[in-house]
Amino acid sequence: MSTVDAPERSTPSIPGPAPRILLIQAPYYEGVVSGMRRGAEKLLHEAGCHVEVVDVAGAYELPAALRMALKVAPGWDGFLLHGCVVKGETDHYQFICEAVCQGVMDISSETGVPLGFGLLTVESLDQAEARSADDRHNKGGEAAYALLTQIALARRWGIK
C-alpha cells in the first residue's frame, strides 16, 4: 500500500479556558475506532481539553447524535465524530457513506459549530487499521487537529 507522507503538526494553541469536547463514536469496528480515539485523545490532552465520549450503534447514527448533542449542548466547545465503514459486496457502503457525510456537512454548514470529522471510508479492514495506527497517519488525530483549529478560530472571532 502506498501512503502519502502526513505532515508533522504541532498542537494548536487554544486561547481561553480548556475546551470541552464531545467525542461521538461508532465503535462497530472497535479496534479501528479505539485507535482513532487514542490518536485524537493524545492531541486533545496535549491541548488541555476535557473530553467526554459517547457511543452510537453505527456510522449512520453519527449525524443524528450530533444534532441531539447540539440541542442539549451543555457547554461543549466542539464535537469530534469517529467511525468506520468498510466496503462490502453491496451498495450499502455507498449509501451509508453518502448519507453520513451529507448529514454531517449539513449540520456543520447550518450551525458553524467547531467539528472534527473522522469517518474512515475504506476498501478493507487493513486500510482502516493503517489509518488508525499509533503514528502521524492516524485519522482520529487529524480530525482532532481540525477540530482544535476550528475552536481556536471561533474563539479568535468571539463566537461561542
Q: What is the pLDDT along the chain (160 residues), one digit of tens a residue?
A: 445 676 777 888 898 999 999 999 999 999 999 999 999 999 999 999 999 999 999 999 999 999 999 999 778 999 999 999 999 988 899 999 999 999 999 999 999 999 999 999 999 999 999 999 999 899 999 999 999 999 999 999 998 7
Residue 92 a catalytic site member = yes
| Known binding residues for 5-amino-6-(D-ribitylamino)uracil | 28, 59-61, 84-86, 117
Cβ count within 10 A of residue 4: 6
- Number of residues that this document lists for the chain: 160
Active-site annotation holder among 50, 82, 92, 137: 92
Which residue ranges make up each domain of the chain? 20-73+80-155
Question: What is the dotted CATH code of the domain comprising 20-73+80-155?
Answer: 3.40.50.960
For residues 27-65, b (16+ Cβ closer than 10 Å) or e, as one string? bbbeebbebbbebbbbbbeebebebeeeebeebbbbbeb
| Known binding residues for (2S)-2-hydroxy-3-oxobutyl phosphate | 89-90, 131
pTM, two decimals, is: 0.93
Instruction: Name which of 3, 6, 1, 10 is nearest 136 in CA terms.
Output: 6
